[in-house]
Amino acid sequence: MLTALAIRDVVLIEALDLEFGAGLDALTGETGAGKSILLDALGLALGARGDTALVRHGATQAIVTATFDAPTGALAVLLDDNGVAVEPGEPLLIRRIVKADGGSRGFVNDQPAGAALLREMAPMLVEIHGQHDDRGLLAPAGHRDLLDTFGRIDARATARCWVALRDAEAALAAARADIETAARDREWLAHAVDELTTLAAQPGEEETLADQRRTMQRAEKIADDLAQIDDFLDGSDGGLAKLRQAARVLERIAPDHDSLAEALAAIDRAVNEGASAEDRLRDARAALTYDPRALEDDEARLFELRAMARKHRVQPDELPALADDLRTRLDRLEAGEGGVAALAKSVAAAREDYVAAATALSAARRGAAARLDAAVAGELAPLKLDTARFRTSVAPIDPAGWNASGQDRVEFEIATNPGAPFAPLTKIASGGELSRFILALKVALAEEGGAATMIFDEIDRGVGGAVASAIGERLARLAEVTQLLVVTHSPQVAARAAQHLLIAKSHDGTVTRTGVRRLDEQERREEIARMLSGAIVTDEARAQAGRLLETA
């Protein structure tokens, strides 16, 4: 809901701060007082073109700030998707600045926002209906959703069937494309599968072969060193043999002195450590065995794996998976139309499910259309549209246009005269008729929701008496479910308002300004009397104004 509007330096408005409440707000004033400026200012905040002509003469920039209730639902999601942070429960402030020398800037809660985002937010915040409006109810693109909401129709089953159908069609198309591609490359595919099968690469094989190769290459380099160590330790002239000979001599003379006994113990320890060293060397020789043939075989296998990987532009470890993938493609090709036939059956079944769901949806829409037509028809006669007819056209669309919302094109149509053909609203309705049709539709669709704020711009133009009273009564009913702002010249409509704003021009001899003020009960009676009688307000007009206010 729109709660406040602050305007600075817009056309004839120097500074204006307005507050709005729930229900029906009437905006009145003499012709030319500047009522359209308010709508232009609000439109500017909601992303309308930033025309420099809106900047008041002598000012450097025009600023409009619109305040709304805290955003919820789709609006909150839209703001979040665009990186605009809004604290829960905090009001929504939209500010637009237009400079006199060109250029404009937008802000949402003091965060920069482009005009495109403001325009996307606008229909979620405000609906503006004027005699030349081509949005909202007049846009056929939204009629189907409006009908579904009015009829409380759930289209989700049709949407699910549509997704299933599209998935099945995509799988069939992919299978056919694979077969077509595979058929063109059959010879290459068969050869690739054969050579990969022959190669029989294993996961991790390249790393294992590389490790073995490095080990054997290292063994080759240290083989001479190991042989030299053997010469030092093994044989009758080796170090260990000499130590054992020394130990045998010491055993005979060790009892002669304690130091000899200690020396014998030390040599025994050396012999034991030397034996341990021999065991470790033996293990090392076993692990570092250098086999020229084995090294050659490992290198040949390693180079073969890497060459195959380069050929197919994959890593060596990916060769087993590649072999499986190419084999699957070849199997699919060899399976031929069998797999495609199965997928085609799946598509046919999914299409049947979708058609069944969409047919049921169409039937529900036709039923809802009949109820909506009856509801609108009940509103036409009091609005002096008793010769007009309204219908909700639910027509099938070409299968190429089927989608998740079904198989229907929904459009609101009217025939203004008996025997005249039905046509879209904008094609045959005059300005006054169009506004009244919109009102009738809005009343019928009152529970549909939509924007929290609606504005009707001179919906009562060219009518009076009973028709104006009927318009006022319906606007009041509509204001029970949404905030309603009405720019009006009709006293019958103004009398229905919960709040009354007067728009007037003032002159100080050099500058003309437009101002707006909220009327109290006495001022409101006087304004309605002026609307009834014209420039000279008579006592009879005041009395009539009082009766209108009492009966509203």
pLDDT in tens, 39-57: 888 989 999 888 898 998 8
Residue among 120, 24, 124, 119 at smallest CA distance from 71:
124
Residue among 454, 436, 460, 430 at smallest CA distance from 376:
436
Domain residue extents for the chain? 186-335
For the ranges 97-111, 199-213, 250-264, 474-488, the lowest mean pLDDT is seen at 250-264
Which residue type is seen at 211?
A: D
Question: Tens digit of pLDDT for each residue in 505-550?
Answer: 777 767 777 888 889 899 899 888 888 887 788 888 888 888 888 8
Return all residues near 237 (Cβ < 8 A) that are at least 6 apart.
none
SS3 477: helix
Q: Measure the CA–CA gap between 385 and 441, rounded to whole angstroms.
A: 13
For the ranges 120-124, 171-175, 431-435, the lowest mean pLDDT is seen at 431-435
Distances (CA, A) of 426 to 422, 433, 475: 12, 10, 22
Amino acid 251: pLDDT: 82
Mean predicted confidence (pLDDT) in 314-331: 87
Amino acid 428: pLDDT: 63
Please give the helix or strand (H or E) that residue 2 lies within, else none. strand 2-10
Residue 259 binned pLDDT confidence (cut-offs 50, 70, 90): confident
Are 305 and 316 a contacting pair, CB within 8 Å? Answer: yes
Are 396 and 171 a contacting pair, CB within 8 Å? Answer: no
Q: Angle at the Cα of 185 (from 181 to 189), degrees rounded to 5?
A: 115
Amino acid 374: pLDDT: 92
Question: Tens digit of pLDDT for each residue in 384-401?
Answer: 888 888 999 999 999 999
Strands (E), 280-437: 389-396, 408-415, 423-424
Sheet containing 423-424: order of strands: 389-396, 408-415, 423-424
